[in-house]
Amino acid sequence: MKNIRVKCPAKLNLTLEVVNRREDGFHNIKSIMQLISLYDFLDIKVEKSSQNEIILDGTSKEIPYNEKNLVYKAAKLFLDEAFIDGFKLDIFIEKNIPIAAGLAGGSTDAAGTIWGLNKLFGEPLSREKLHEICAKLGSDLNVCLEGGCLLTSSRGEKVNKLPVANYFVTLIKPKYLGISAGEAYTKYDKKPREDKDYTGKMVTALNKGEDIKKLLYNDLEYAVYDDYEELQKIRQKLPNSIMSGSGSTYFVLDDCAVDFGDSYQVIKGLKFIETGVEEV
């Protein structure tokens, strides 16, 4: 039996601008994504078996531990792409990243699965091939595989490295509100915004080492904000906060002393990081 423990970081969208709707139903975006020091952990074990078998378990009661889980899909696709047969995979997911939060919790776990399995099997696939697999599974996996700060385009799977700034981060999430990407993009399509190119402005600021706090921006926040009092409460108390991804998590690039009560989860003391998924 071989095993590996992988830490899988959450991501933030420092900017998220919708370019257009694609013929396949997805949307082209331009976004700057940054990995942060909030992690899920995967314990992956592999052993010989009569046939391929994938068994999932974990600490969260909010996610399925079957073929619907993105980790399961990632493991199966890796085995298929690497032409590996006759192994039992046991994957335990220690969930610390909030669910349906705009933080890429499922995507980072899937990217960590692909990366970890490639390590356990002696790296049969190149880094380029790992990125190809990630792109097949979702929009944020490539970011989580690559790590650091990234300018992303297309659906979010095309990535280019940017300098990592030095900020502390506080997350604020309504405990009982999750917003799907499908909902957020559908609502955006009904009231699109003019392109203000916050992404391009932030690329310039990052390359010059300038402050980026006033350039945080998210088209999807604009799309869903009016529909949820929970989001409005965050913005009212923290005017400089911004939503990540399709939500419902907001963040500020600072420490936060505001009390939001029991109906919100607040995670303080996080930092921007240079890395993506990696072995513990």
Question: Known catalytic residue: 140?
Answer: yes
**Mode of pairing for the β-strands spanning 87-94 and 158-162:** unpaired
What single-letter DSSP state applies at residue 272? B
**Mode of pairing for the β-strands spanning 87-94 and 217-218:** unpaired
Neighbours of 166 (CB within 10 A): 7
What single-letter DSSP state applies at residue 262? T
Interacting residues of 24 by C-beta distance below 8 A, sequence separation 6+: none
Residue 166 and residue 209 in contact, taking contact as beta carbons nearer than 8 Å: no
Q: Which of 7, 73, 109, 140 is catalytic?
A: 140
What single-letter DSSP state applies at residue 68? T
Neighbours of 262 (CB within 10 A): 6
Residue 119 and residue 279 in contact, taking contact as beta carbons nearer than 8 Å: yes
Q: Which of 11, 73, 173, 187 is catalytic?
A: 11
Question: Known catalytic residue: 11?
Answer: yes
Helices (H), the chain: 70-81, 105-120, 127-137, 141-146, 181-190, 198-208, 219-224, 229-237
Side-chain-facing half-sphere of 251: CA atoms under 13 Å: 32
Going by C-alpha positions, the residue among 127, 123, 162 that lies closest to residue 142 is 127
Q: How far apart are CA 235 and CA 87, in angstroms?
A: 49
**Could you list the active site residues?**
11, 140
